[in-house]
């Protein structure tokens, strides 16, 4: 895991000074080293203060901060290909890099054991056979098993490519104005160069190609697996027995990939079955596994997590959240996730607090239970969709929710954990796990309109692997409610004179224009208790004010242009 930054100046002005500034606000993403490369000149250091600008300055530069997990100190980026044509930076993890490397090592000079360098030499090899960088990237997306955001410079053509994995597990942002094109792993690095810069995402499964004069075009390079056909009626696994066998095989493989080479890991642990199963499997694969949880003293998440950890003999550390600690954390969290959306902040807060403990323990990798509800039908409104619209509609909603995780969950959680210099891994979002889950007849997971639990295959596997039934079949509250966070933030807002009397009709109209994040707020409320999912305007106004204080600018969410909306829907409709 790392932080990527880059600048292409359209007026041939030097970029080194701005590049150092961009990296300075992402140092948490890479405490193990920093490097910049302008032209062919690369400088490595452990401290940003060691760099001086300008040095051999030029119109294009790459910067990188590194959290060393694979490859050790020799894995410092950017990497340059053997023929000097390509320079590459990568943020993420590639789980089949050893197999790819074995096919390349006889013809390429590897200078590290990093998975990132393997991507570089794969592309170098592809460009011998492919006519364009775009075609090489398309072939790359078919081969890589992992998560990634990548920046590549093709020195032969002058093109720069920004690439993101199919689900968007790792984010990458970019901005264009008349002077320059900038890109980075976090928006704040771009905002630093100009408060009014409009920032866009590299979309999941896409590559943004920037030519030498700064013109940008976006291309789709990765297609969802065929098993995710939304019109599918014939399923590979039609019985519980076969579904369990296939799921166990794919999940065990996903866990082994992500634990290989690790002696100690953390688990973001709520006490719900998704994180419990990850912890249960991990303790047989990793020498030291510690679970981390946070919430108010009497919150259901803390109480149940403590009970589950004792019952399963899991090591658990809990950060108790108070009103005072919450008020102190809110600006830090908003700075970390680069958003003031109330739902995003409330869900991020307990994870941020739990990761503070993990950081003290010098944990570098944590696992989460993210993704199970989307692929196995775990949301409480899913059975109601079955009742009103049938299983075909349910499957469409599950696919939609999966392919919107990038902006509704994954970006937030990456930034929350990386604020503490910790990488998060998501075994349930392994491509084989996803394929297996969507090859199961949805009637097996959501048995009917009265099924209040869902994800039956997932729960039953947990039970068969030794997790007691009362844990495997527990119905857990949403994070912001189970941790008690929502009620504390409401109190804090009111104590800071943000209550219903502050809300004007103009502010309510402005809220109506904002993008709605999370399937609960996008459509879930239609099938249940709307009041449970509504954001209180006075809380949102309070968080907006904190955002303005932190970033020195009015609330300005990431550019969600019509083009992004169309690209997102194109992903879903093509499945």
Beta strands 34-38 and 41-45 are antiparallel
Beta strands 365-367 and 264-268 are parallel
CA atoms in the 13 A half-sphere facing the CB of 230: 16
CA neighbor of 394 nearest in space, from 386, 402, 406: 386
Q: What is the pLDDT of residue 54?
A: 47
For the residues of 201-237, what is the DSSP string, one character each?
EPPTTEEEEE-TTS-EEEEE-----GGG-TT--S-SB
Q: What is the pLDDT of residue 142?
A: 95
- Integer Cα distance of 415 and 169 in angstroms: 11
* Domains delineated in the chain: 2-220 (3.60.20.10), 229-573 (3.40.50.620)
DSSP at 214: S
Q: Could you give the C-alpha distances from 356 to 362, 370, 422, in angstroms and in order?
A: 10, 20, 10
The alpha carbon of residue 315 and the mean position of all alpha carbons in its chain are separated, in whole angstroms, by 26
Place of tokens 């970390």: 336
Place of tokens 């954001």: 535
pTM value is 0.92
- Integer Cα distance of 178 and 184 in angstroms: 18
Residues in contact with 299: Cβ distance below 8 Å, sequence separation at least 6, in sequence order: 482, 483, 484
Gyration radius (Cα) of the chain, Å = 23
Q: What is the pLDDT of residue 50?
A: 59
Q: Which two tokens stand for residue 441?
A: 């007849």
- Integer Cα distance of 525 and 535 in angstroms: 12
- Integer Cα distance of 385 and 389 in angstroms: 6
Q: Which two tokens stand for residue 517?
A: 């994040």
Task: Give the DSSP H/E element, type plus range, for residue 428.
Answer: none
Profile the chain (575 residues) by mean pLDDT over runs of 10 residues. 88 88 86 77 58 66 76 67 92 94 87 89 89 92 96 94 97 93 95 82 97 90 84 88 97 97 95 95 97 88 90 95 94 96 94 96 96 95 94 94 96 96 96 96 93 94 96 72 78 95 93 88 81 81 95 64 52 52
Residues in contact with 381: Cβ distance below 8 Å, sequence separation at least 6, in sequence order: 519, 520, 523, 524, 526, 527, 528
- Integer Cα distance of 442 and 377 in angstroms: 8
Place of tokens 């606000």: 25
Q: Which two tokens stand for residue 425?
A: 């891994």
Q: What is the pLDDT of residue 34?
A: 82
Helix axes 300-312, 273-282, angle to 10 degrees: 30
Contact (Cβ atoms closer than 8 angstroms) between residue 87 and residue 30:
no
Phi, then psi, of 372 in degrees rounded to 5: -65, -45
- Integer Cα distance of 20 and 193 in angstroms: 11
The alpha carbon of residue 34 and the mean position of all alpha carbons in its chain are separated, in whole angstroms, by 22
Contact (Cβ atoms closer than 8 angstroms) between residue 282 and residue 307:
no
What CA dihedral angle connects 151, 156, 159 and 165, to 10 degrees? Answer: -40
């Amino acid at each position: 895991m790392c932080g990527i930054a880059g600048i292409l100046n359209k007026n041939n002005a030097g970029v080194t000074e701005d590049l150092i500034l961009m990296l300075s606000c992402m140092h948490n993403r890479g405490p193990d080293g920093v490097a910049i490369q302008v032209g062919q000149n690369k400088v490595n250091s452990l401290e940003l203060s060691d760099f001086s600008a300008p040095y051999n300055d030029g119109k294009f530069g790459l910067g990188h901060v590194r959290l060393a997990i694979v490859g050790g100190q020799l894995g410092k980026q950017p990497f340059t290909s053997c023929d000097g044509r390509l320079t590459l930076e990568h943020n993420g993890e590639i789980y089949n890099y050893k197999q790819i490397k074995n096919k390349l090592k006889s013809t390429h000079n590897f200078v590290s054991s990093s998975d990132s360098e393997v991507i570089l030499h794969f592309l170098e090899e592809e460009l011998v056979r492919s006519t364009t960088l775009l075609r090489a990237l398309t072939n790359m997306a078919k081969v890589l098993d992992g998560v990634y955001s990548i920046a590549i410079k093709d020195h032969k053509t002058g093109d720069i490519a920004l690439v993101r994995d199919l689900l968007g597990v790792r984010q990458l942002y970019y901005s264009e104005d008349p002077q320059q094109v900038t890109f980075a792993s976090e928006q704040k690095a771009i905002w630093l160069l100009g408060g009014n810069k409009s920032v866009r995402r590299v979309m999941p499964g896409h590559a943004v190609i920037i030519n030498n004069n700064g013109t940008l075009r976006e291309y789709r390079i990765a297609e969802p697996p065929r098993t995710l056909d939304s019109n599918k009626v014939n399923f590979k696994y039609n019985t519980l027995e076969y579904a369990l066998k296939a799921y166990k095989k794919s999940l065990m493989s996903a866990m082994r990939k992500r634990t290989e080479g690790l002696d100690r890991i953390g688990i973001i642990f709520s006490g719900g079955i998704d994180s419990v199963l990850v912890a249960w499997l991990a303790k047989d694969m990793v020498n030291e596994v510690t679970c981390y949880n946070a919430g108010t003293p009497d919150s259901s998440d803390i109480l149940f997590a403590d009970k589950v950890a004792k019952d399963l003999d899991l090591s658990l550390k809990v950060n108790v959240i108070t009103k005072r600690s919450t008020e102190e954390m809110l600006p830090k969290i908003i700075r970390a996730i680069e958003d003031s959306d109330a739902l995003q902040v409330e869900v991020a807060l307990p994870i941020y607090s739990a990761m503070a403990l993990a950081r003290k323990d010098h944990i570098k990798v944590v696992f989460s239970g993210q993704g199970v509800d989307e692929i196995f039908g775990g949301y409480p409104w899913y059975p109601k969709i079955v009742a009103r619209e049938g299983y075909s509609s349910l499957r469409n909603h599950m696919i939609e929710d999966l392919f919107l995780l990038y902006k509704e969950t994954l970006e937030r959680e990456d930034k929350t954990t990386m604020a503490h210099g910790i990488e998060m891994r998501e075994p349930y979002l392994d491509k084989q796990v996803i394929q297996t889950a969507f090859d199961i007849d949805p009637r097996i997971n959501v048995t009917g309109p009265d099924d209040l639990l869902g994800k039956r295959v997932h729960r039953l596997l947990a039970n068969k692997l030794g997790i007691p039934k009362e844990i495997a079949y527990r119905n857990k509250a949403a994070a912001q409610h189970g941790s008690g966070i929502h009620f504390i933030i409401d109190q804090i807002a009111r104590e800071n004179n943000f209550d219903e009397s502050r809300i004007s009709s103009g502010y309510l109209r402005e809220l109506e224009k904002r993008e709605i994040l999370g399937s609960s707020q996008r459509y879930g409320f239609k099938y249940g208790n709307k009041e449970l999912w509504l954001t209180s305007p006075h809380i949102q106004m309070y968080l907006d004010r904190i955002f303005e204080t932190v970033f020195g600018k009015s609330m300005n969410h990431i550019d969600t242009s019509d083009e992004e909306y169309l690209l997102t829907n194109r992903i879903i409709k093509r499945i």
